[in-house]
Amino acid sequence: MPPGYHGCYLRIDLSVGRAERVSLPDAVLRQYLGGSGLGAALLLEEGAAAADPLSPEAPLVFAFSPLVGSPLTTSAKFAVVSRSPLTGRFNDSLASSGFAIAGKRCGCDAIVIVGRADACSVLVVDDGEARLETADDVRGEACHVAEEKLRLRLGADFRIASIGPAGERAVRYATISHDGRHAGRGGSGTVLGSKNLKAIAVRGSQRCEWARPDELIELSRDLSRRSFGPATAKYRELGTATNLLTFNRFGTLPTRNFQSGTFEGAARLSPEQLDAGRARTRASCVACTIGCEHIYPLGDSGVRIEYESLFALGSLCGVSDGDAVLRATRRCDELGIDTISTGGTIAFAMECVERGLVDEPWLRFGSGDAVLKAIELIGAREGLGNLLAEGSRRAASAIGRGSIAFAPQVKGLEIPGYEPRALQTMALGFAVGARGADHNRSGAYEVDFSNKVNRRHATLESVGHAIETEDRAALMDSLILCKFLRGVFTDFYGESAAMLRAVTGWDVTGDELRETARRIVAAKRRINVLAGWTPEEDTLPDRFLDTPLRTDPGAVLTRERLQELVAEYHRQRGWHARGQ
């Protein structure tokens, strides 16, 4: 077993009440590292593609990584990996903070959960020993309340990841929350809820050794020093919320369900307007020197705001009332639902109302009260909320009458805050993403906001850039390091190899890690293929094809062009015409 690893995972079968340690061969660890990569390898091992995502036999993986527990800044992260109940495809969602460190100290590199508990329970993993406890006292509680109550019950040294009421009610885009952060996309919380688990609590004392501690400490110091510099200033000083005005200025801010790229109310959602002159506070995850969290005052407490929440519950729904967006974000956090999928699905329903396809006249673009009401209905799965809890693709299937053309999703996952017609390298990244449209798995928007491409007219040259950003994301999600660090690296693969050498002692090189990244992307794709993926899924909704963006007539992405880009992507990946 290499340093940095425990060399095993803990496999817990809730149906039979058994926990066992399963060895992880060194070769698997080196090929897939940890986080998303190791999670994908374990899903393949467990035959996850054959199981319905919400069936008892479906595995849910909490994967740690070799860098967790090291002094490297931002390394306290974990990945939750499964088939998505929203997309039916591979899903990995990441979150940060003490759960990752405590989970790894349980003496395992991952926790794999299969089966289903008899009653709503809390899975307690105490130094590697697993048991179920009742969740009666936290059933129906908001994420943060459940977390706090369980900490009081179990002890302050436990770290807890919990679902909210939405996860208990099988809303298909429920999150797993820990310490105010969320493993947010694709319905990881729905899968946990389907196993009758309200939460998982971890505590441990088993530390991993490092191969070259002096070297690792020196690398960590250097990385921390650079993390204070200009490359992370935006996250530290302003937070991602500042993106909203930038995107609006470039006409790439999705507005009213992607009907427009600019929002007349954007200024009211700027950070300066949102905090209304009251002091905004900052926070950070455990073991992070960036401190990107900006907490906006709301009532007698605060709410953490990111660009994606701001766009999805703001401009996408035509809402410029900052207070309403803050309240909506906080309510999503409490219920434990992904703000992007929530906003995307509500915005889709608003357009359906506008077109006369849905008879819910209260659900109008621009109404913050309507967004708040819709969120409550979704969390409770009541009335229209029962349909919207299924996500925009399933809702469109039920509504019919061509509404799938403007359901804002790829593979069933709602599209984040980047207008694909005006950011066409990103459009490709969305179309081919293994978990659907996602900005954390493809950072191709960076290329669009550079002089490398014409963002309104993607060419085959764009494909290599999209692959490069996807590979880099796959490696960061497997090491694991926060993507907000990405700007500090001058030689990302080489520097990553140096960190990994110091932790594991492997003679790993940057070139090897490039191959590793490609292997991990291919493993995700392999799971999708086994789960029934077809090439037709690698596309965008009709809304984005052939029709210019209303607010930017030069931004046109033809169906033929996207198909060429996707085909070239498959070719460069070494996959044949069926994308395998």
Binding positions for another protein, rule: CB under 8 A = 230-231, 233-234, 237-238, 240, 242-243, 245-247, 249-251, 306-308, 416-418, 439, 443, 445-446, 449-451, 486-487
Q: Are 469 and 452 in contact (CB under 8 A)?
A: no
Cα(345)–Cα(327) distance, rounded to whole angstroms? 18
Q: Which residues contact 384 (CB under 8 A, 6 or more apart)?
A: 349, 358, 360, 363, 374, 377
**Residue 316 burial (CB count, 10 A):** 31
Closest distance to another protein from the beta carbon of 451 (Å): 4
3-state secondary structure of 168: helix
In the bound state with another protein, the residue whose beta carbon lies nearer, of 277 and 356, is 277
Q: Which residues contact 76 (CB under 8 A, 6 or more apart)?
A: 68, 69, 96, 97, 98, 100, 101, 285, 286, 287, 288
Closest distance to another protein from the beta carbon of 306 (Å): 6
In the bound state with another protein, the residue whose beta carbon lies nearer, of 211 and 231, is 231
In the bound state with another protein, the residue whose beta carbon lies nearer, of 141 and 414, is 414
In the bound state with another protein, the residue whose beta carbon lies nearer, of 270 and 509, is 270
In the bound state with another protein, the residue whose beta carbon lies nearer, of 212 and 486, is 486
User: Amino acid identity of 119?
Assistant: A
Q: Are 288 and 338 in contact (CB under 8 A)?
A: no
Cα(507)–Cα(579) distance, rounded to whole angstroms? 33
Cα(377)–Cα(388) distance, rounded to whole angstroms? 9
Closest distance to another protein from the beta carbon of 472 (Å): 13
Q: Calculate the alpha carbon distances from 20 to 203, 321, 523 in Å.
A: 17, 52, 25
Closest distance to another protein from the beta carbon of 310 (Å): 9
Closest distance to another protein from the beta carbon of 489 (Å): 11
In the bound state with another protein, the residue whose beta carbon lies nearer, of 98 and 251, is 251
Residues linked to residue 125 through DSSP beta bridges, in sequence order: 130, 202
Closest distance to another protein from the beta carbon of 307 (Å): 4
In the bound state with another protein, the residue whose beta carbon lies nearer, of 62 and 235, is 235
Closest distance to another protein from the beta carbon of 429 (Å): 11
Residue 186 is classified by DSSP as S
In the bound state with another protein, the residue whose beta carbon lies nearer, of 243 and 260, is 243
In the bound state with another protein, the residue whose beta carbon lies nearer, of 311 and 544, is 311
Closest distance to another protein from the beta carbon of 449 (Å): 4
Closest distance to another protein from the beta carbon of 332 (Å): 16
Closest distance to another protein from the beta carbon of 248 (Å): 10
CA neighbours closer than 13 Å in the CB half-sphere of residue 439: 18
DSSP string covering 462-496, please?
Answer: HHHHHHHHHHHHHHHHHHT--GGGGGG-SSHHHHH
Cα(140)–Cα(566) distance, rounded to whole angstroms? 43
User: Amino acid identity of 25?
Assistant: P
In the bound state with another protein, the residue whose beta carbon lies nearer, of 19 and 245, is 245
Cα(25)–Cα(43) distance, rounded to whole angstroms? 15
Whether the bond between 101 and the residue before it is cis, its omega within 30 degrees of 0, is: no
Tell me the torsion sign for CA atoms 297, 303, 304, 310: negative
In the bound state with another protein, the residue whose beta carbon lies nearer, of 224 and 551, is 551
In the bound state with another protein, the residue whose beta carbon lies nearer, of 131 and 249, is 249
Closest distance to another protein from the beta carbon of 445 (Å): 5
Give the DSSP H or E segment for 10.
strand 8-13
Closest distance to another protein from the beta carbon of 461 (Å): 15
Cα(275)–Cα(539) distance, rounded to whole angstroms? 39
Q: How many residues does this entry show for the chain?
A: 580
DSSP string covering 394-459, please?
Answer: HHHHHH-TTGGGG--EETTEEP-S--TTT-HHHHHHHHH-TTSS-TTT--THHHHTSTTS-TTS--
